[in-house]
Chain A
Amino acid sequence: MRALLLVLLLVNASEARPATQIKVGSKVFTESVILGEMVAQIARTEGARVEHLRQLGGTRVLWDSLLKGEIDIYPEYTGTITQEILADKYIRDEETLKRALGQKGILMSRSLGFNDTYAIGMKEDFANKLGITKISDLRNHPELKLGFSNEFIDRADGWPGLRKTYNLPQKDVRGLDHDLAYRGLESGSIHVIDLYSTDAEIRYYKLRVLKDDLNYFPEYNAVLLYRGDLKERAPDVLNAILRLEGAISESNMIEMNARVKLDRVPEGVVASDFLRKNLSINTESRGETFITRLIRRTLEHLFLVAVSLAAAILLSIPLGILAYRNERIGRAILGIVGIIQTVPSLALLVFMIPLLGIGSIPAIVALFLYSLLPIVRNTYSGLRDIPSQIRESAEALGLSPGARLRLVELPIASRSILSGIKTSAVINVGTATLGALIGAGGYGQPILTGIRLDNVGLILEGAIPAAILALLVQGLFDLLERVAVPKGLRLKGE
């Protein structure tokens, strides 16, 4: 008996303490995804249930999600924290920075070991020829042609400040697209460009990063930001994760970025290789086969579409009926859903973040709002276009307004309503790909990754299933039309 009780207690105890759940976030660029992947893999080897919300968005999205507890940890840069996140506070040193974060319940790791800041670069062999190793060396070569990204040229802490600090004499300075800048460098039409100090291209184009000898650029040390409660909730997991502190050098990071961007090795594999080689942590980079990946994304995508469309149908048809019954309310309804439709989908998704956070819920709400107009308008116009003789005949029979709607008006308008739903569904399938931007998954995920890595194969892995799904949805509704639209409306007069 006592033994039985003990067993029961043990069972209960093990049930009461489920595996710690940790949500890792990363930003929409390669380096952040690799770092996020490292954190996720370490946490997983420590037995935590880990979800990595990859390329969730920009700084704002990640920071807000961290504050709300939608993610527990993500990689960030000290410069970004002081310049963007806490721009309204005066931050002297690391101590004040930690205190300011602590007030919001956020903790910061020590530097992971590298500084990903703005940097100035030249071709290695050309710099060698001129004997240039640091930025102040540029002063002796006024004939050099400079090509900077447009953002860098405009920002006060970009080129204008750099020129002043180093007293640079170059006259030929032009703004151009970053990718073109690399090509210009290769062809010799420009000699000096701006870059990030851990860019993969540094290896590819064999560039020399010039030393910032006057310390002009602020430090963008890579750190991990995490919620204070993680320390109490999962101290072991956290300690394991914090082994990354000081572990990654600038050249490590350049190499890893290059492997992902240039050699097209998945981030998970790159992260896993690094952990094994440098920290002797054996992790599994969760390998998903193409098929399981496709199934998972299809389910995610269908979920977004089905829930948002169903909700839109349930609301739109009554709204369309109301618009038809009352002209003034109708104008207001059609006006409002019309205005919603003019909001760019990307903007609508971003608006949702402060209201509903990240993940599938805000994406579903945004898709729902987008699906309203075609259904409302087609319900309204389908009802309005019923010939007056038919409407009056129904009235003259003595049917109540509700019975008229149910027995006569809605069946006659059914084709128009259904085609509105079809339009909404097809648009919805396409727009749902944007859901990946706020962590809702679906076919947008590989498209997003493909754009980031300039990998057409990955883009197609999302785009082709999305197109096929749109066609299937259309076909499904064509079939549905045969069932839902009364036969008398489908016949042609003889």
Chain B
Amino acid sequence: MINIENVSKTYGSTNVLDSVSLIIHPHKTTVLIGPSGCGKSTLMRLIMGIIRPDRGSIYIEDQMLTPNNVFAIRQRMGYVIQDGGLFPHLTAQENISLMAHYLGWNRDRIRDRIFELCKLAKFPPDALNRYPVQISGGQKQRVSLMRALMLDPHILLLDEPLVALDPLIRFELQVDLKEVFQALGKTVVMVTHDIGEAGFFGDEIVLLKSGRIVQKGTLIDLVQTPAEPFVTRFINAQRSPLESINRGKID
């Protein structure tokens, strides 16, 4: 469980987050969504401890995040970023196993874990020795996911993991990702700006606007009982591919 209590963060004179409180439930997928600059990525970085809140506290599994315990706590969380954030000087395998090596895992344990993850993430093992520049965008995200899962963390954080991919690969990866989430039952937090993707993944959707939480609930809650007109506007702002055809029929 992640507990965010009255967290505020300002950059210069901009209030990026304004007294945000949120409980993220274990074994569920929570999606943070909202327009650009709403504070969703900042919230993610705060949970990782990459930046610190100006006010308020963050608890990861009942432990308050402080500069002292941040390195230990991070090892209980996996992080996938847009574009993968893979280290270009390391092969896919070295990227995945970097942290395990650092922690002194033995070779067999690392190899077994990597093969397990290859199966889970549907990544071809013979591509493990390729460097990031030698693999496609979709494959990079699979490697990034494997790297995040290597230490078998309780929590998985994904910051717009699919945004840079072309639609077909994105579709395929969405399905695979959801399978992984369901198979592992981890606490997942995902940031996206795509309401369709939010509905596909989210057990709970948290809609943010200008550093505040506007509404949280399932996609159905957001559609049927919007907390304010903005919610409806935000949902309707995303065009359905079939929209123009439907309109043609009505005309």
A494 CA to B137 CA, complexed, in Å: 12
Q: Which residue of B lies closest to A390 (CB)?
A: B85
A494 with B89, Cβ < 8 A, contacts A389-B83, A395-B48, A396-B74 known: no
B90 and chain A: residue at smallest CB distance: A488
For window 90-125 of B, CB contacts with A under 8 Å fall at: 90-91, 98-99, 102
Q: Are A393 and B102 in touch, CB under 8 angstroms? A: no
In the complex, what residues of B have CB within 8 A of residue A494's CB? 133-134
B146 vs chain A, min Cβ distance (A): 13
Per-position contact with A for B143-165: 1 when CB-CB < 8 Å, else 0?
01001000000000100000000
- Kindly state the separation between the CA atoms of A411 and B98 in the bound complex, as whole angstroms: 14
Given the contacts A392-B81, A393-B85, A396-B77, A491 and B131 also touching, CB distance less than 8 Å:
yes
Is the CB of A11 closer than 8 A to any CB of chain B?
no
**Is B79 close to A, CB under 8 A?**
yes
User: In the complex, what distance in Å separates the CA atom of A393 from the CA atom of B157?
Assistant: 11
Do A397 and B81 form a contact, CB below 8 Å, given A390-B87, A491-B134, A493-B133? no
Of listed A389, A390, A393, A399, residue having the most chain B CB within 10 A: A393
Q: Which of B72, B86, B102, B132 has the largest count of A CB atoms less than 10 A from its CB?
A: B102
Residue of B nearest to A408 (CB): B87
Instruction: Tell me if A486 is interfacial: C-beta within 8 Å of chain B.
Output: yes
Chain B contacts for A171, CB-based, 8 A: none
Tell me if A399 and B88 are in contact (CB < 8 A): no
User: A396 touching B134 by the CB < 8 A rule?
Assistant: no
Contact of B86 among A393, A400, A487, A489 (CB under 8 A): A393
CB distance from A343 to the nearest CB of B (A): 37
Chain A residues with Cβ below 8 Å from B73 are 398
Complex contact A394–B131 (CB within 8 A)? no
A412 close to chain B: CB less than 8 A: yes
- How far does the Cβ of A310 sit from chain B's closest Cβ, in whole Å? 25
Kindly report which residue of chain A lies nearest to residue B75, judged by CB atoms: A398
B77 touches A390 (CB 8 A): no
Looking at the assembled complex, report how far the CB atom of B160 sits from the nearest CB atom of chain A, in whole angstroms: 11
Question: Which residues of A, 368-421, contact B by the 8 Å Cβ criterion?
Answer: 387, 389-390, 392-400, 403, 407-408, 411-412, 414
Q: Given A411-B89, A488-B89, A488-B90, does the pair A397, B74 have CB atoms closer than 8 Å?
A: yes
Give CA–CA (A408, B85) in the complex, Å: 12
Is B71 among interface residues, defined by CB-CB distance under 8 A? Answer: yes
B118, chain A: closest CB distance, angstroms: 19
- Min C-beta distance of B213 to chain A, whole Å: 24
The answer to the question of B82 belonging to the interface, with a C-beta cut-off of 8 Å to chain A, is yes
Residues of chain B contacted by A387 (CB below 8 angstroms):
85
A164 at the interface (CB under 8 A from B): no
A17 contacts across to B, CB distance below 8 A? none
Please give the distance in Å from B218's CB to the nearest CB on chain A: 29
Residue of A nearest to B99 (CB): A397
Cα of A491 to Cα of B131 in the assembled complex, Å: 8
Q: How far is the CA of A403 from the CA of B87 in the complex (A)?
A: 14
- The answer to whether A389 touches B48 (Cβ under 8 A) is no
Do most interface residues of chain A lie in helix, strand or loop, or is the interface mixed?
Answer: helix
Within 8 A of A (CB), among B33-91: 45, 48, 50, 71-75, 77, 79, 81-91
- Chain B, 203-225, CB within 8 A of any chain A CB: none
A396 touches B88 (CB 8 A): no
Query: Residues of A within 8 Å of B, CB-based: how many?
Result: 26
A487 in contact with B131 (CB, 8 Å): yes
Instruction: Select one of B48, B88, B98, B147 contacting A390, CB under 8 A.
Output: B88
Let me know if A492 is at the binding interface, CB within 8 A.
yes
| Contact A488 B131, beta carbon cutoff 8 Å | yes
Give the residues in chain A near B75, CB-CB below 8 Å.
397-398
A400–B74 alpha-carbon span in the complex (Å): 11
Binary per-residue interface labels of chain B (174-199) against chain A in the complex, 1 for a CB within 8 Å, 0 otherwise: 00000000000000000000000000
- The CA-CA distance from A403 to B98 in the complex, in Å, is 11
Task: Decide if B132 touches A399 in the complex (CB within 8 Å).
Answer: no
Tell whether A393 pairs with B99 under 8 Å between CB atoms, given A487-B131, A488-B131. no
From B86, B87, B102, name the one whose CB has the most chain A CB atoms within 10 angstroms: B87
Residues of B near A487 (CB, < 8 A) are 89, 131
Q: A389, B50: Cβ atoms under 8 Å?
A: no
How far does the alpha carbon of A486 sit from the alpha carbon of B74 in the complex, in Å? 27
In the bound assembly, the distance between CA atoms of A373 and B235 in angstroms comes to 54
Instruction: Assess the B132–A392 pair: CB atoms within 8 A.
Output: no
Question: What is the CA–CA distance of A492 and B132 in the complex, to the nearest angstrom?
Answer: 10
Complex contacts, A394 vs chain B, CB 8 Å:
87
User: Hey, which chain A residues are within 8 Å of B50, CB to CB?
Assistant: 392, 395-396
Q: Which of A392, A400, A489 is in CB contact (< 8 Å) with B71?
A: A400
| Nearest opposing residue in chain A for B77, CB measure | A396
Determine the distance from Cα of A414 to Cα of B90 in the docked complex, in whole angstroms.
13
25 contacts between A and B (CB under 8 A): A389-B81, A389-B82, A389-B83, A389-B84, A390-B86, A390-B87, A392-B45, A393-B87, A395-B48, A395-B74, A396-B79, A397-B75, A397-B98, A398-B72, A398-B74, A399-B99, A399-B102, A400-B71, A407-B102, A408-B89, A412-B89, A414-B89, A488-B89, A491-B134, A494-B134
Residues of B with Cβ closer than 8 Å to A?
Answer: 45, 48, 50, 71-75, 77, 79, 81-91, 98-99, 102, 131-134, 144, 147, 157
Question: Which 8 A/B pairs are nearest by Cβ-Cβ distance?
Answer: A393-B85, A398-B74, A486-B89, A396-B79, A488-B131, A389-B85, A493-B133, A398-B75
